[in-house]
Amino acid sequence: MNRSRSSSAWLNEHVNDAYVQRARAEGYRSRASYKLMEIDDRDRLIRADEVIVDLGAAPGGWSQVAAKRLQGKGRVIAVDLLEMEAVRGVTFLQGDFREHDVLQQLEELLGGERVGLVLSDMAPNLSGIAVRDQARMMHLAELSLDFARHWLQPDGALLVKLFQGHGFSDFLQEMRRAFETVSSRKPDASRDRSPEVYLLGKTLKA
């Protein structure tokens, strides 16, 4: 079967992408690693002796960055529906975060310990139907926010990926109700044509 022009163009772009090449050279699993690095360099989110929960972790790029920057002083718990090759310093839970049983397993791993940082790079498998994809993306973001509200320590932070579109403004308002400060981030490693944007909430409101 001949590869379509669009898929060939994507493959060519991916192979020649500077961040993809850099990730391969530096041993990171995905170009997404550099998104977290850039945001953390700016906002100082990864702090020693804290627990970090990485939702939608596979293939492990963000978990790699978090574990490396913790330098063994703290722990990372990663969750994804897909399999993920082991990352040193990371506890991996395979399962669908939308399911109650998986959330319960995650809470058991926490053992009552509060979280310093929740990372959510979760995204649905895209169907190509914009309304459906946006709704599913917003649902994942809402689950991330709900988890953060229940498990973050008072001065903790949530970094969550969203697609700009229907429901974004409402979710932004929910973030502002939950956190003292809310900022948007569009790191250089995020492709310009991508609708993704990251919202960063810091310090839970009482």
Helix (H) or strand (E) segment spanning residue 11: helix 5-16
Please confirm, yes or no, whether 161 is among the known catalytic residues.
yes
- In DSSP notation, 159-201 reads EEEEESSTTHHHHHHHHHHHEEEEEEE--TTS-TT--EEEEEE
Ramachandran region of residue 18, left (φ > 0), alpha (ψ -120 to 50) or beta? alpha
Ramachandran region of residue 111, left (φ > 0), alpha (ψ -120 to 50) or beta? left
Three-state secondary-structure class, residue 121: coil
- Among residues 73, 161, 186, 202, the one annotated as catalytic is 161
Active site amino acids: 161
